[in-house]
């Protein structure tokens, strides 16, 4: 036993691990709370900071009795199909408890004090292995708070790269955007977080140009046209493509050709693969093929809290060179870093790694690598492949069923009603019905609404490790919910 771990905590956690269950506070098949419970819970929330504290026991027991009923306890459960939510694997949940118990701040590499930075480095290598991405091709690696933060990193790295290429004497991270050449993001069906990222890194939302794939042009043709036009105006370009578009689960095709264009025009290629990267974990060659070419990106965004089934919050970012990140997030090349943050370089028997502090936004942060490490070791490649295959199989079954219904229209399937990945996009044929609301009000499953080709639609995303584990019950719950709202 590790002497640093208090015996009691160690036993509590080990007992949980023996049951191979994660803790959930109520029936995980009820996806959300309800307005009555939420109102009741809200009414019991103190209106102001208490003068005298309640103490730990009273606070927690009161919270569990009065407040917890207001949370969406089934959001980490098998029938919550909103957004792309994922769940929490038991090993990840226990790893997260341990993370809090040790409360490591992991941003400075101090190998004589803690293993944390080395464990994080090893964990990120394992993620690359899981995704069949060559460890040596992506040396810039960092754990973020989510795909949004990763997209900010991607656009920041791209911004520095394209400006440096146009003006080798100019360092935008040192001197700012005023005086720098303009930068545009040419994007294929960007997630809204790409717009947020453009705002944060000073490119500006209006400089995100959606490349139209409709009509007679392919994406590559439309992209080439946009690149010729923008390069004539001396604009630096970041190309942002979608691996797993959020409404459809579709992938930007033909990465090889896109890479060639980026090389010709000096553009940075960013791949938003928040959940789509996990197509590569599938046992099906056709599914894996959807995410071909991921290694051609200069930077890759992915998520830990979605299909990797880690607790919120956890995102992943990879770039080909560590220097891409250090140029933005590292110390100033003119003035150097803070002396007190000087990290260890000569580690004797241990490898040296760059302090995560120089690779991402935060100077202090949670030891997010630990739940990730626990999940990867507990599941192994086979465990994750089983989850990804089961989730995709579930979505495909729902898609096929919807395709055969008079009352429904499947929007992201082929002629046989096969959806590309783990998202099912559909609408009801009945006019004037708020389908999302009707489904969610019944409280059996949860879906999210979206707009598709100007009209409302519903998306059902399958990414929870529990979905479909109980034989046919989750599938039947979806079918029953969809049948009951159109009856
Ligand atoms: C979910 C998602 C994001 C945003 O990710 P967060 O983890 O919520 O910040 C970005 N891009 C795509 C494609 C996504 O699916």
pLDDT tens digits for range 217-273: 899 999 999 999 999 999 999 999 999 999 999 999 999 999 999 999 999 999 999
Residue 148, ligand 1, Cβ within 6 A? yes
Alpha-carbon torsion, ordered 52, 55, 61, 65, to 10 deg: 10
Contact, 446 vs 82, CB < 8 A?
yes
Beta strands in 278-407 (DSSP E): 299-303, 315-319
Residue identifier of the C-alpha nearest atom 12 of ligand 1: 274
Return all residues near 206 (Cβ < 8 A) that are at least 6 apart.
Answer: none
Q: Is the pLDDT of residue 25 over 60?
A: no
Average confidence score pLDDT of the chain: 94
Tell which atom from ligand 1 comes closest to the C-alpha of 315.
7
Beta strands in 340-447 (DSSP E): 408-410, 423-428
Residue 143, ligand 1, Cβ within 6 A? no
Using one digit for the tens of pLDDT, what is the confidence trace for 167-223?
999 999 999 999 999 999 999 999 999 999 999 999 999 999 999 777 788 999 999
| Ligand 1 center from residue 262 Cα (angstroms) | 24
Within 10 A of 32 (CB to CB), how many other CB atoms are there?
Answer: 20
Using one digit for the tens of pLDDT, what is the confidence trace for 58-78?
999 999 999 999 999 889 999
Using one digit for the tens of pLDDT, what is the confidence trace for 90-116?
999 999 999 999 999 999 999 889 999
Using one digit for the tens of pLDDT, what is the confidence trace for 36-66?
999 999 999 999 999 999 999 999 999 999 9
Contact, 258 vs 271, CB < 8 A?
no
Q: Which of 86, 143, 144, 146 to mutate to test the pocket of ligand 1 (most atoms within 8 A of CB)?
A: 146
| SS3 label, residue 210 | strand
**What does the angle CA 78 – CA 82 – CA 83 come to, to the nearest 5 degrees?**
125
d(CA 388, CA 292): 17
Beta bridge partners of 241: 271
Residue 315, ligand 1, Cβ within 6 A? yes
Which of 374, 154, 378, 158 has the alpha carbon at shortest distance from 274?
Answer: 154
| Ligand 1 center from residue 149 Cα (angstroms) | 9
405-409: average pLDDT? 96
pLDDT, residue 470, reads: 86
Residue 459, ligand 1, Cβ within 6 A? no
pLDDT, residue 342, reads: 64
pLDDT, residue 24, reads: 67
Q: Are strands 183-187 and 208-210 parallel, antiparallel or unpaired?
A: parallel
Residue 423, ligand 1, Cβ within 6 A? no
Burial class (CB in 10 A: 0-12, 13-18, 19+), 89: buried
Residue 240, ligand 1, Cβ within 6 A? no
| Ligand 1 center from residue 193 Cα (angstroms) | 7
- In the DSSP assignment, the letter for residue 307 is T
pLDDT, residue 345, reads: 59
304-310: average pLDDT? 98
142-153: average pLDDT? 98
Contact, 113 vs 35, CB < 8 A?
no
Residue 153, ligand 1, Cβ within 6 A? no
Query: Sorting pLDDT into bands at 50, 70 and 90, what band is 350?
Result: confident
- In the DSSP assignment, the letter for residue 311 is P
Which of 109, 2, 20 has the alpha carbon at shortest distance from 375?
Answer: 20
| Ligand 1 center from residue 243 Cα (angstroms) | 11
């Amino acid at each position: 036993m590790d002497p640093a771990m208090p015996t009691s905590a160690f036993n509590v956690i080990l007992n949980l691990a023996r049951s191979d269950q994660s803790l959930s506070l109520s029936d995980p098949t009820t996806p959300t709370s309800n307005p009555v419970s939420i109102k009741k819970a809200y009414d019991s929330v103190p209106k102001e900071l208490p003068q005298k504290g309640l103490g730990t026991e009273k606070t927690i027991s009161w919270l569990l009795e009065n407040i917890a009923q207001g949370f969406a306890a089934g959001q980490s459960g098998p029938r919550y199909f909103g957004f792309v939510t994922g769940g929490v694997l038991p090993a990840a949940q226990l790893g997260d408890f341990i993370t809090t118990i040790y409360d490591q701040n992991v941003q400075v590499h101090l190998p004589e004090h803690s293993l944390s930075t080395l464990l994080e480095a090893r964990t990120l290598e394992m993620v690359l292995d899981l995704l069949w991405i060559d460890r040596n091709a992506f040396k810039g690696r960092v754990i973020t708070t989510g795909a949004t933060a990763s997209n900010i990193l991607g656009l920041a790295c791209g911004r520095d790269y394209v400006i440096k290429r146009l003006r080798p004497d100019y360092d935008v991270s040192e001197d700012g955007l005023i005086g720098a050449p303009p930068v545009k993001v040419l994007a294929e069906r960007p997630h809204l977080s790409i717009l947020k990222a453009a705002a944060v890194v000073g490119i500006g939302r209006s400089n995100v140009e959606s490349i139209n794939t409709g009509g007679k042009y392919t994406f590559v043709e439309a992209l080439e046209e946009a690149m010729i036009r923008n390069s004539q105006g001396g604009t630096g370009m970041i190309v942002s493509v979608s691996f797993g578009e959020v409404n459809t689960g579709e992938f930007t095709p033909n990465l090889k050709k896109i890479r060639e264009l980026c090389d010709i025009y000096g553009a940075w290629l960013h791949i938003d693969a928040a959940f789509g990267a996990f197509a590569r974990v599938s046992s099906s060659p056709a599914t894996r093929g959807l995410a071909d070419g991921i290694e051609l990106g200069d930077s890759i965004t992915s998520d830990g809290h979605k299909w990797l089934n880690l607790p919120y919050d956890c995102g992943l970012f990879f770039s080909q060179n560590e220097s891409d990140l250090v140029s933005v997030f590292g110390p100033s090349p003119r003035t150097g870093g803070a002396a007190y943050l000087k990290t260890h370089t000569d580690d004797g028997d241990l490898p040296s790694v760059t302090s995560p502090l120089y690779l991402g936004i935060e100077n202090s942060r949670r030891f997010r690598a630990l739940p990730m490490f626990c999940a990867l070791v507990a599941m192994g490649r086979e465990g994750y492949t089983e989850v990804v295959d089961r989730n995709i199989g579930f979505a495909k079954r729902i898609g096929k069923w919807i395709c055969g219904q008079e009352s429904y229209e499947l929007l992201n399937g082929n002629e046989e009603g096969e959806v590309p990945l783990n998202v099912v996009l559909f609408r009801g044929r009945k006019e004037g019905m708020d389908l999302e609301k009707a489904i969610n009000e019944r409280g059996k499953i949860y879906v999210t609404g979206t707009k598709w080709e100007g009209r409302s639609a519903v998306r059902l995303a399958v990414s929870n490790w529990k979905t479909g584990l109980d034989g046919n019950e989750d599938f039947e719950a979806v079918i029953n919910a969809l049948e009951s709202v159109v009856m």
